[in-house]
Chain A
Amino acid sequence: MELFTPDFGLVFWMFVAFAILFLLLWKKGWPAIMDMIDKRADLIDKGVEYAQQAKDQLDKAQQSAEQIIADARHRQADILREADHMKDQIVEQARQEARTAAQKEIESARIAIAQERKEAEKQFRDQVSLFALDIASKVTRKDLSNDSAQSQLVTNLLDEIENKN
């Protein structure tokens, strides 16, 4: 039965030793360890949350970046189209201008030609009248009796003039 009767000395020493052990660990041992276990658990929880948030933000950022790129592409296409349009316009305008310029040139050339022609005609007329007078004087100088001879003469004279020219 000795096993079932607690020994007073053992109870006393057990209590003293355990009390010392407990007080020491209570003040100096466990708090730091428990703090660290709690803090680390918190840190891990927060880390997971933070990672989740970061991932969400990254996803959002990626989405907005894609949006921006799409926008830029859109704008690029717009600008290109506009530029194309503008080019066409400019070319058209240039062509128009060139056409009008050519028209004007042609007009002035035509006027010049007409004037030239008038002048030439006038000169020609003067010449002709001179020749006519000349011919007339020659005709009158020759005998005006023969009709055929007269017309022969005129023809000859005209040939002469033609050859002269």
Chain B
Amino acid sequence: MMKRLSTIFASLFIAAVAPLAMMADDAAPAATADTEVAVENTAAAEHHEAEEDFKPKDIIFEHLGDGYGWEVPFNHHKRIPLPIIVWASDGLHVFSSSRVAHGATYRDGDIEFKIPQEGDYKGKLVEIKPDGSVEKPLDFSITKNVLAIFFTVIIVILCVMPLGKWYRQKGYVAARGFKGALEALYEFIYVSLIKATLKEQARRFAPYLLTVFMFIFVANLMGLVVVFPGGANLTGNIAITLVLALITFFITNIFGTKHYWKEILWPDVPLWLKFPLPIMPVIEIFGMFTKPAALTVRLFANMMGGHIIVISLTLIIFIFAKMGVAALSGATVVSMIFQIFMLLIDVLVSFIQAYVFTMLSTIFISLAQEHGHEEHEKHKEAAPAALSETAK
């Protein structure tokens, strides 16, 4: 153990010292020996430093946000151009994002497009009307995050389909290797989470819940891979978590039982709590919508937080770079140790967040699957039940 630790520290030290040797008068190349984690942002920093304009906040938000291109590994200037698909005021336009890169204006037909660097529409494609005003068209572009969604979907399919095929063909023969490891994961989610919560209803909802779990888990892990095709802050984007939470919301309510709706609209509480002023129904209906909101925000905030911490730790190096060689090397070592620590925690968090989202979805769905058989018991002990309901 000690030997391994010392090896890690030695490599960290080399990582910190090697750039010092190469350093002439500029601090920026220090990052060339940095780990992959830092590379992207190193490049970003390089770019900004060259312009004598180092804004950590911009770098962080640029990383967290979406984009019309995808950074080429180890180079911040070049981006992989992605298709822009917009429904502008005169119809559909499809063109490459390289045409509007670096704030350039592109004329397609009668309409000019541009990505403003400042203002309300910063970083978003806008159409410039003949009178000079700008408007945001309906934007279906394959952005960085959309492409990341596609990659995630493909990886999830590649993780699930071969195992299904294996079992269709081989019957009871247990899968080995990577397939076996994935099966252990699926079994963990399916048996100890979905089946344990939903009981006999498990088969109905398990496909959705397993898909959600795998999607979030793969997306989270892909977000930790820094270079293309990873590095997109997918689950840290509110649009993604919103869609997932809304699907859970609709499944919960569409498949909700009569008992579930009764509990919302006419709960087992003293009459004055629901008539003439429907206090409890209003609270219950409000609760219906806070559930998906909580799902949306907690996944989004957790994953975004993880990304912000790692980027911030990387940026510490560049902040200290201006203070001289000693500060830089010290900051590099400390930053590297913390980054590795944070990334390892993020691997754990990737799993935990996917698990928690799946667990909460399972619980919300199972709460809407309750049947009246508990109602009779409630009636027997009507008074304490009503009290506890009110207390809630």
Which residues of A are interface residues toward B (Cβ below 8 A)? 2-15, 17-18, 20-22, 24-26, 28-37, 39-41, 43
Chain B residue with the shortest CB-CB distance to A27: B207
Say yes or no: is B325 at the interface (Cβ < 8 Å to chain A): no
Tell me, rounded to whole Å, the shortest Cβ–Cβ distance linking A43 to chain B.
7
Shortest beta-carbon distance, B299 to chain A, in Å? 13
Pair B206/A34 contact, Cβ less than 8 Å:
yes
State which residues 156-187 of B face A: CB under 8 Å.
Answer: 156-157, 160-161, 163-165, 167-168, 172, 174, 183, 186-187
B333 interfacial contact with A, CB 8 Å? no
Interchain CB contact (< 8 A) of B211 among A9, A14, A22, A32: A22
Q: Is B210 an interface residue (CB 8 A)?
A: yes
For residue A35, which residue of chain B has the nearest CB?
A: B167
Is B240 interfacial (CB 8 A cutoff)?
yes
Which chain B residues border A34 with CB–CB below 8 Å? 190, 203, 206-207
The distance in angstroms between the C-alpha atoms of A6 and B156, with both chains bound, is 24
Instruction: Tell me the smallest distance from the CB of A14 to a CB of chain B, in Å.
Output: 4
The 22 listed contacts between A and B (C-beta, < 8 Å) are: A2-B122, A4-B238, A6-B237, A9-B140, A9-B141, A10-B240, A11-B243, A13-B140, A14-B146, A14-B239, A14-B240, A17-B150, A25-B160, A25-B211, A26-B208, A26-B211, A32-B164, A32-B165, A33-B190, A37-B190, A39-B172, A40-B174
Q: Which of B59-67, B110-118, B281-289 contacts the other chain? A: B59-67
The SS class assigned to the B binding surface is: helix
A7 to chain B, nearest CB (A): 5
Interface residues of B (CB under 8 A from A): 61, 64-66, 122-123, 138-143, 145-146, 149-150, 153, 156-157, 160-161, 163-165, 167-168, 172, 174, 183, 186-187, 190-191, 203, 206-208, 210-211, 215, 237-240, 242-244, 247, 304
Min Cβ gap A48→B in Å is 16
CB distance A13 to B238 under 8 Å? no
- Residues in A whose Cβ lies below 8 Å from that of B149: 13-14, 17-18
CB-CB < 8 A to B165: which residues of A? 32
Summed over the interface, the residue pairs from A and B with CB atoms below 8 Å come to a total of 126
Give A10 to B219 CA distance when docked, in angstroms: 15
Q: Are B143 and A10 in contact (CB under 8 A)?
A: yes
B207 close to A22 (CB less than 8 A): yes
Output the least CB separation between A39 and chain B (Å): 7
The docked-state distance in angstroms from the alpha carbon of A18 to that of B167 is 24
A21-B208 in contact (CB<8A):
no
Decide if B238 touches A5 in the complex (CB within 8 Å): yes
Closest A residue, CB atoms, query B166: A32
Q: Are A2 and B65 in contact (CB under 8 A)?
A: yes
Name the residue of chain B whose CB is nearest to the CB of A41: B191
Q: Check if A14 sits within 8 Å of B160, measured CB to CB.
A: no
**CB within 8 A of A30: which of B123, B141, B206?**
B206
Residue of A nearest to B159 (CB): A29
Q: Is the CB of B156 within 8 A of A25?
A: yes
CA distance A22 to B213 in the complex (A): 11
Contact B146 A6 (CB under 8 A): no
Q: Within the assembled complex, what's the spacing in Å between the Cα atoms of A24 and B208?
A: 11
How far is the CB of B15 from the nearest CB of chain A, in Å? 32
Residue from A13, A29, A35 within 8 A of B161 (CB atoms): A29
Q: Is there contact, CB below 8 Å, between B157 and A24?
A: yes
Q: How far is the CB of B148 from chain A (nearest CB, A)?
A: 10
Q: Whole-angstrom distance from the CB of A22 to the nearest CB of chain B?
A: 5
Given contacts A28-B164, A31-B207, A34-B203, contact A6 B157 (CB under 8 A): no
